């Protein structure tokens, strides 16, 4: 089973949704046969990298609300995060551009560290209050998950993996994804937003049952004894919007 997850490191529901999916997977009998692919999405592609605007200020401006209301909304998100064991610190969070973070994720995936890098970047943003727009910070985070820091620095100094990030974003647009997190199971079922655990469990069970009923690839037009080949015997409401 394959699960593609479109998310952004600046999306609180993406971290919450990730935890809810992980909990559902921990109780899923076929968890060892599930492949998770992390796909890039940017909620604010024009955000600056210097982090000169607080999360509260950004939210108030984006949705045309007062600063107090923005703080109240973030307080509610903090409570939701606590419910899945996460520690969100909105007062010190650094609003920044996440493009380089997504490039680093693709680089990490090439080296077999996609899951570790994704988790570290989310924690860096929401709990550690680190600036993901600072390439020096990204290099250190890469080192923490076992990647070569010098190689990561050289990659970030180039435009490597920019095409991959844009390709993910374009694929998301083709699928009409306008908010994250967005989960796609076996290119057939989609879950939008940080839905409750039982929703993920239901989809996992449905997809698993379908996989057991029929092979992933069904050959048609072939009769017994003919054409044989060797081996024949044997994503408000749980998602962040643009």
Which domains are assigned to the chain?
A: 2-213+235-241 (3.40.30.10)
Q: What are the backbone angles phi and psi of residue 39, rounded to the nearest 5°?
A: -115, 150
Distance of CA 237 to the CA centre of its chain: 17
* pTM score of the predicted model: 0.88
Rounded distance between C-alpha atoms, residue 136 and residue 162, angstroms: 18
Tell me, what's the pLDDT at 104?
Answer: 99
Instruction: Give the per-residue pLDDT at 52.
Output: 83
At residue 98, the pLDDT reads: 98
Is 93:132 a contact under the CB 8 Å cutoff?
Answer: no
Between the two ends of the chain, the Cα-to-Cα distance in Å is 29
Q: What is the pLDDT of residue 53?
A: 86
Residues 6 or more apart from 103 whose CB is under 8 A from it?
Answer: 155, 156, 160, 161, 162, 164, 165
Can you give the pLDDT at residue 164? 99
CB 199 within 8 A of CB 22: no
Q: What residues pair up with 185 in beta bridges, in sequence order? A: 3, 189
**Spans in the chain with pLDDT lower than 70:** 214-238
- Tens of pLDDT along 26-59? 999 999 999 999 999 999 999 999 878 899 999 9
Number of Cβ atoms within 10 Å of the Cβ of 115: 14
pLDDT of residue 240: 72
């Amino acid at each position: 089973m394959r699960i593609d997850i479109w998310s952004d490191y600046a999306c609180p529901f993406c971290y919450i949704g990730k935890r809810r999916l992980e909990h559902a997977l921990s109780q899923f009998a076929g968890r060892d046969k599930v492949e998770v692919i992390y796909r890039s999405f940017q909620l604010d592609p024009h955000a600056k990298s210097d982090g000169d605007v607080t999360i509260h200020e950004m939210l108030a401006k984006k949705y045309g609300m007062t600063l107090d209301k923005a703080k109240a909304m973030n307080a509610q998100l903090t409570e939701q995060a606590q419910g899945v064991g996460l520690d969100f610190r909105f007062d010190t969070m650094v609003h920044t551009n996440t493009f380089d973070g997504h490039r680093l994720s693709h680089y990490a995936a090439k080296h077999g560290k996609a899951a570790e890098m994704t988790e570290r970047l989310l924690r860096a943003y929401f709990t550690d209050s680190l600036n993901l727009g600072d390439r020096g910070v990204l290099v250190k985070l890469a080192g923490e998950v076992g990647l070569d820091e010098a190689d990561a620095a050289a990659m970030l100094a180039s435009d490597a993996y920019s095409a991959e990030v844009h390709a993910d974003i374009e694929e998301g647009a083709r699928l009409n994804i306008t908010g994250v997190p967005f989960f796609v199971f076996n290119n057939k079922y989609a879950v939008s937003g940080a839905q409750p655990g039982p929703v993920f469990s239901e989809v996992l069970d449905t997809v698993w049952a379908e996989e057991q009923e029929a092979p992933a690839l069904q050959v048609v037009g072939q009769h017994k004894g003919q054409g044989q080949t060797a081996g024949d015997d044997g994503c408000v409401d749980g998602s962040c919007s643009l």
